[in-house]
Structure 1
């Protein structure tokens, strides 16, 4: 009989052999789902992304959420290009939940490597991670990864479908496939044969799928690279677009909820008798805290106004959340103390920084701060759900549909196949819809809805005060310049909370073991291109009870402000022009240098960057940053206005995002990112009073309005490279560009966000 040890060793050896064998296999295909594609009468599915109907319409299945970034248009263009479809015949629909739609490149993008690290270890890690993500990852929209991730599979889906249509036509006409061609949704043959996609689709669906479809040479692209209008634009203009908040199934009830003022708190006891007595109220009950959220008391009523009014007559006692007693001063103290105690994990080191600092002709030190930030998307948190007959139907605007479905099933004690999650358009997300607390909460409320659908809608104050915030961060710099003003030493460390650890804990139950590593919090600091002979860049993570989550551009959002502002300080100390100083650090990074030179040319950069125009003093500031694979440089033009206000007159932006799939979408995202970043730079901060969030409305957490928006000039660099992220890349550089311009204008260096000046209020101008 085998001994236990022998059995275990044999099992481990066999498992090791399986893992090695699995890792040696090529990544699995991403075109054929595990279950047949649902089709309607007259439709034929050619793969997991393409369905063709008898009327010649081509439906492209969308596995990413449309939340204003235009990805449904960009993805449809990839398929239509390789398919040679007629663009007017293209339609989009939400894909089912299947592992072929898992987001692979977002996971590989979070690996802890610098972009210019070309080592074998990085290549092996990316290979292995891609395989893991394909089989065990999740469907997710985020990290500016959609086009990057689906560039290959969506094009392959179109190419495969095209090949199958040609094969069907050749078989029908008894000719060679090589003698057939496709033009705008029609397969043609020189002998005069002609058939539309719709006529051929049923036969094409029976053709074998090519194992290695031949993709077009970019020189022959007819759609990719064109500024096509957004595919959903018309529906948004005429009001027919359905966002999460617009869902109105038959028999709908409405729910509102009063949540504990301190995040993470729960209900101790409550008196809901007065609320329950109001006409139109169906039920009043306590709701727990889900997935890192906050507990409260919910009211289900005939309409939202009754439900919200009923909250006013509730009497509630709370079990305060873990933030109770926390203040901004205490957060700042603990961040400072953490850096005093330890510099944390070194993400990038090279040379001997301390020795270089000791021999520097000049040393420069600085400390920078960034606050907590809310997402504050225009569409407030909402979700509609119906629990009936052991099944659930959920209408949700989410960035993580598979994670949401998993938690819905767990909450209700049913299988995931019994959860019908219907994805809706999202009215802004910026990372907030990567959380599922509000979805689980809505399902728990709907469970009390007597089998009727219930829409749970948060008010703006609830949305802002029960968010998962961009972490506050503190960063310290030491740098050394030689006698010629050359940068010879760079030491930087920052401290914040970890997002990844908390997100994994609340959504996957992975224990937060307190590891002092989270690449997303140091990105924007350790992964920038500047060439320095001696460098040390680290990150310290600490525990604070404030709930934190992914915010548009994540760590880049504050690290770019820190790094690019300090680079500017060094340029001033070295008595060098800020553009020239940066260019001198990019000798071996021609892509970054080209973007920097492009924005300098666009803005007619001059040294010094201060001048007078018709008696008004102007100044310009510059910033360069790489994020999500894209390189962005911006120049901000600011000036004094009447009543001692500051005007942001114009922003120049150059971006290299790889091959521009749709310049129209790229320009929109760049412009939106700049406005988003300007809002955070001047107007936004989340503050705490006794553990509760103070801000509740846009009046206290404001955004740049249309009549305040500066003129924005965008240049998209030509490229044949793999498309990179766009949705977040323009956010990080705008704050340092403006701060650097303010220094040139006022002589004051601003090292904390938001940019609050003691003598001047902030005002922007209309374009033109």
Structure 2
């Protein structure tokens, strides 16, 4: 599915998923100047009044030594009235990036924030991640990787505007200053950015610029309302599923009940008779499967026709997974020798004064974003435009080109806002994109020429695969009366996310998928032997918000807490002792949460207990101190206090919202019914009636506090999720005396 021109993309994503940062590596191969000129002209983004003005005036589209990701022309448009529109190189799907990145650029630009707008980009080269050279929203890297990029874009734009004003007034640019969208000169001369934009765009882009001292920031660090808040709160925000092109048709797909199954026979007579149906198409699907697509003039005619299909499936050639059998197989596999990730000496385990033996079970989890998957394709046989909420529009564009028989430059991806995703819109196989393109191609071959929006239903989404993998952990721990761990023998069994993908070579080392073990051991100085098994199972799996930390944080933090309890130590004091002086960010985050919660100082209401957990993911540390109780045999989470260390905070409101949302999603992992199970190869859940997600009534009081820092920002989209479940479980263990070993929590 990948073309030769994608040869660098796997390396970039490998680095991303491995949470590595290599500032010396250059981004992906650059486009020739002529190709980039064509792309930027076609994209419609330019600094000034008209998108094509810079090219028509002969200004260099790519300054010597600058890459497309460094060019203001692709990111900043200034209208005559001074309105500044900033293009965001990521997908906005709830994390607030459509405000935070414009804040960074606008601060360096000295823009009038009341006149700043934002929009999403495309699969053009300019919108690739500046560090890895591929289009990506994932790994909580949007701010971290584009912080300097967007500062420099703002500073370059400002420098060009100042130079244009200096030329107009015949003065030295050094004598000018900027403020709130205006260039101010000697004698009180003033020129708005809108007046100067056309002249500024004709100037060369400066190769280097001086950035502000952080003390000069006006926007960065200030609590700021989201630019898309009004549209979303009023119902006017458009998402990918809302796409409506002239003459557009809608497609739904009948998919096999077992992953990878194919069709024996199709009786579509009743489906074709449904009013509004334009085509019934037998199409290839992900993982070698087959399906039937109904193309109609609306969603309900298409769905009605799908229900009228009579399909006979061949499941004889595919594995039929059964969750109960699978767990038994995992338990047997955990007893076998496997790949080693850590390999400490286990001899002290046999003589340890105290021991813990534990087994943890984690089910498959669906992403279940509020907006199900969708992709609109306009294909005329020679070129295609796609509209969808994509986390990897570059890779998806390449996959679409391959599916449609086009060259990559013949496919344009218009990124749309998405109603959530949590990783499901970043798939190495580009499954739903390839599916939509296959339908568009088959429809054109059948004589149907129209934009086609392929829509997944909620049931399609829940049953459609690419889940967080099911995992089994086993642990044997030996320690002494002081809580010093003498030996920790640990086994993880679970499918690899990246095995079989283009990223396997860089992400699987010595038989261990790096995403499965992230969060194990660190930051605690533990002598651990960690063995890993990655069985092959006929269930498609994918990263899920916070990836491996969804299970490793629970295991580590509940076991650390248990050691503290069994050695009669305060869980906070025990953790701080283990951190020592080696982990100041963990210490600061935990101490902040403790201080703000009143832990150890205030008396809790009868029947409540404290719970504590701290975890680092995506280079940020989040500590939770919670208050929980048992009511009518059911666990209840009352209050959550968060201490967060994510270095420099761009928008405190965004950080607060991300931690609150992550905590609620972490709470969702605890709720009985939050599991995907299979029987005879068929997923048993299909909607929110039998796949539990947290609701507003489950939301506890959550207060978020950040550790002050001027260091470059780290990730914040995902770190709020991992420590919630273990903190909750630790509180319940203190109430009941029994540690919890599985998610979701067992029902009473």
Determine if the TM-score, normalized by the shorter chain, exceeds 0.5: yes
Match of 2:499 in 1: 501
* Residues 421, 538 of structure 1: alpha-carbon distance in 2 compared, 3 angstrom cutoff: same
How big is the shift at 1:251?
A: 1.1
SS of residue in 2 equivalent to 1:462? helix
* Residues 471, 74 of structure 1: alpha-carbon distance in 2 compared, 3 angstrom cutoff: same
State the distance in 1 between where 2:97 and 2:656 align: 13
State the distance in 2 between where 1:672 and 1:321 align: 42
Tell whether 2:512 aligns with 1:541.
no
Of 460-469 and 312-321, the range deviating more from structure 2? 312-321
Match of 2:418 in 1: 426
SS of residue in 1 equivalent to 2:625? strand
How big is the shift at 1:647?
A: 1.8
Match of 1:139 in 2: 135
Match of 1:173 in 2: 169
State the distance in 2 between where 1:740 and 1:519 align: 27
Match of 1:34 in 2: 36
Tell whether 2:177 aligns with 1:185.
no
Match of 1:74 in 2: 100
What is the aligned length?
692
- Is the 2:321–2:537 Cα contact (8 Å) retained in structure 1? no
- Is the 2:45–2:76 Cα contact (8 Å) retained in structure 1? no
SS of residue in 2 equivalent to 1:602? helix
The within-5 A match list for 1:95-114 is 95-103=121-129
The within-5 A match list for 1:148-297 is 148-290=144-286, 292=287, 294-297=289-292
How big is the shift at 1:260?
A: 0.1
How big is the shift at 1:51?
A: 2.4
- Is the 1:263–1:321 Cα contact (8 Å) retained in structure 2? no
How big is the shift at 1:231?
A: 0.8
SS of residue in 2 equivalent to 1:751? coil
How big is the shift at 1:695?
A: 0.6
How big is the shift at 1:512?
A: 11
State the distance in 2 between where 1:621 and 1:184 align: 47
State the distance in 2 between where 1:423 and 1:594 align: 38
Match of 1:647 in 2: 636
Tell whether 2:82 aligns with 1:92.
no
State the distance in 2 between where 1:707 and 1:484 align: 41
Q: Deviations over 1:355-386 (max 9, x none)?
A: 43344322222121111100011111112222
Match of 1:451 in 2: 449
State the distance in 1 between where 2:162 and 2:24 align: 31
Q: Deviations over 1:42-83 (max 9, x none)?
A: 236643322222221222121100001000100001100101
> 552, 557, 560: which one pairs with 2:553?
560
The within-5 A match list for 1:288-327 is 288-290=284-286, 292=287, 294-320=289-315, 324-327=319-322
Match of 2:590 in 1: 596
- Is the 1:522–1:538 Cα contact (8 Å) retained in structure 2? no
Match of 2:17 in 1: none
Match of 2:10 in 1: none
Tell whether 2:367 aligns with 1:360.
no
State the distance in 2 between where 1:515 and 1:283 align: 49
State the distance in 2 between where 1:713 and 1:232 align: 24
- Is the 2:320–2:538 Cα contact (8 Å) retained in structure 1? no
The within-5 A match list for 1:478-517 is 478-504=476-502, 516-517=511-512
- Is the 1:623–1:734 Cα contact (8 Å) retained in structure 2? yes
- Is the 1:338–1:495 Cα contact (8 Å) retained in structure 2? yes
Match of 2:80 in 1: 54
Gaps of 5+ in 2: 1-21, 55-71
Of 41-50 and 470-479, the range deviating more from structure 2? 41-50
State the distance in 2 between where 1:568 and 1:405 align: 47
SS of residue in 2 equivalent to 1:579? helix
* Residues 216, 240 of structure 1: alpha-carbon distance in 2 compared, 3 angstrom cutoff: same
State the distance in 1 between where 2:493 and 2:610 align: 30
Match of 1:111 in 2: none
State the distance in 2 between where 1:26 and 1:681 align: 41
Q: Deviations over 1:117-174 (max 9, x none)?
A: xxxxxxxxxxxxx5xx33xxx2011111100010011101001111111122112212
Of 45-54 and 621-630, the range deviating more from structure 2? 45-54
Match of 1:390 in 2: 382
- Is the 1:268–1:317 Cα contact (8 Å) retained in structure 2? yes
- Is the 1:322–1:545 Cα contact (8 Å) retained in structure 2? no
Match of 2:687 in 1: 697
State the distance in 1 between where 2:683 and 2:284 align: 20
How big is the shift at 1:568?
A: 1.1
- Is the 1:639–1:648 Cα contact (8 Å) retained in structure 2? yes
How big is the shift at 1:329?
A: 1.7
Q: Deviations over 1:93-118 (max 9, x none)?
A: 233433443335xxxxxxxxxxxxxx
Match of 1:112 in 2: none
Q: Deviations over 1:532-560 (max 9, x none)?
A: 3x333343322122100111000011110
State the distance in 2 between where 1:512 and 1:431 align: 17
Tell whether 2:467 aligns with 1:469.
yes
State the distance in 2 between where 1:150 and 1:511 align: 23
Match of 2:728 in 1: 738
State the distance in 2 between where 1:322 and 1:180 align: 73
How big is the shift at 1:660?
A: 0.5
Tell whether 2:395 aligns with 1:403.
yes
The within-5 A match list for 1:624-639 is 624-639=614-629
Tell whether 2:577 aligns with 1:575.
no
State the distance in 1 between where 2:486 and 2:128 align: 44
- Is the 2:274–2:304 Cα contact (8 Å) retained in structure 1? no
State the distance in 2 between where 1:67 and 1:235 align: 14
SS of residue in 1 equivalent to 2:245? coil
Gaps of 5+ in 1: 1-22, 105-129, 761-768
Q: Deviations over 1:206-263 (max 9, x none)?
A: 3232222111111111000011111111111232211011111111222221110112
RMSD between aligned residues: 2.5
Match of 1:113 in 2: none
State the distance in 1 between where 2:219 and 2:183 align: 18
State the distance in 2 between where 1:696 and 1:511 align: 35
State the distance in 1 between where 2:414 and 2:687 align: 30
State the distance in 1 between where 2:531 and 2:193 align: 56
How big is the shift at 1:26?
A: 7.6
- Is the 1:51–1:60 Cα contact (8 Å) retained in structure 2? yes
> 567, 582, 605: which one pairs with 2:599?
605
How big is the shift at 1:612?
A: 6.3
State the distance in 2 between where 1:636 and 1:293 align: 46
> 83, 90, 112: which one pairs with 2:109?
83
The TM-score with structure 1 as length reference comes to: 0.86
How big is the shift at 1:410?
A: 1.0
Of 328-337 and 160-169, the range deviating more from structure 2? 328-337
SS of residue in 1 equivalent to 2:729? helix
